[in-house]
Chains A and B, each alone.
Chain A
Amino acid sequence: QVQLQESGPGLVKPSETLSLTCAVSGYSISSGYYWGWIRQPPGKGLEWIGSIYHSGSTFYNPSLRSRVTISVDTSNYQFSLKLTSVTAADTAVYYCARHSGLSGGWNDAFNIWGQGTMITVSS
C-alpha cells in the first residue's frame, strides 16, 4: 500500500531554513495525485502549508507563501518542503500527505498521511 515517511532535522535555529523530505513508497509520484504538507503546532489544530503535482505545479497557503517552497523529485519518489526564516511559531509536527483525488484538482481532502515529524525552532 501507499506509505509516506517524513524526514527532517528535528531542531532548527531561528532565522534558518527548515528542510523536510517526504519519501513515498508503494506508488509512483509521477503517476498522478497531488501531494501536500500540513503542520500542527503542539496541542493545536491543522494548517495546510501547500501542495504540489507531479508536474511541479505548486499551490501554497498565502499566509506562508513568501517563505515556502515545495518541490518534487519523481525519480527518487519524494517531495520536499523548505520554509525560510523560521521562528518559534513554526514549531510543529509536520505531516506530508497525499490528496485523495476526489475533486480531480488540488483543492481536495487528504486520505493518506505520513506519521509526522516534530520540528522545534530554538537556539
Chain B
Amino acid sequence: DIVMTQSPDSLAVSLGERATINCKSSQNVLYSSNNKNYLAWYQQKPGQPPKMLIYWASTRQSGVPDRFSGSGSGTDFTLTITSLQADDVAVYYCQQYYYNVLTFGQGTKVEIK
C-alpha cells in the first residue's frame, strides 16, 4: 500500500498566523498523462465527518475559504492555512487516490497557541 506520512502530528499556531502541514507519499501520485496529482486534503472537526478542502493537490473545493491552499507535486505536498482562525481548529488529513488502495495520512491536529 502507499503510505502517506504527515508532519507534524500536531501544531499550535497563534490566531492570524500561518499553519503549514506536510504530507509525503511513499510513491509518486502524479499521473503523467494528465499532469494531475491525485492528492486530496480533508478537515475533520470533533464529532464530525471529514470535509474535503482540496483536490488535485491544489484545487479548492467550492465554498472553502481562500486562506486554505495546497501545493506540491509527485511525493511531497503541503497544506497551508494563512491567517489561522478559531474555526480552523481540527485534524487535517491528506489522501492519495492514485493507487488501487485509497490511503490517508495519519492526521495533523491544529490547535490555537
Interface residues, chain A, with chain B CB atoms under 8 Å away = 36, 45-48, 51, 59, 61-63, 95, 97, 100, 102-103, 107-111, 113-116
Contacts and interface: CB of A to CB of B under 8 A. Distances in A.
27 contacts: A45-B93, A45-B104, A45-B105, A45-B106, A46-B93, A46-B104, A47-B104, A48-B101, A48-B102, A61-B101, A61-B102, A62-B1, A95-B50, A100-B55, A103-B38, A103-B97, A107-B97, A108-B97, A109-B40, A110-B50, A110-B52, A110-B95, A111-B61, A113-B49, A113-B51, A115-B48, A115-B49
Interface residues of B, number: 24
Interface in B96-113: 97-107
B25 to A, nearest CB: 14
Query: Interface SS of chain B: helix, strand, loop or mixed?
Result: loop
Contacts of A115: 48-49
A45 B98 CA distance: 19
A114 B100 CA distance: 23
Contacts of B49: 95, 97, 113-116
A65 B2 CA distance: 17
Contact of B56 (A45, A46, A48, A102): A102
Contacts of B103: 48
A59 B98 CA distance: 14
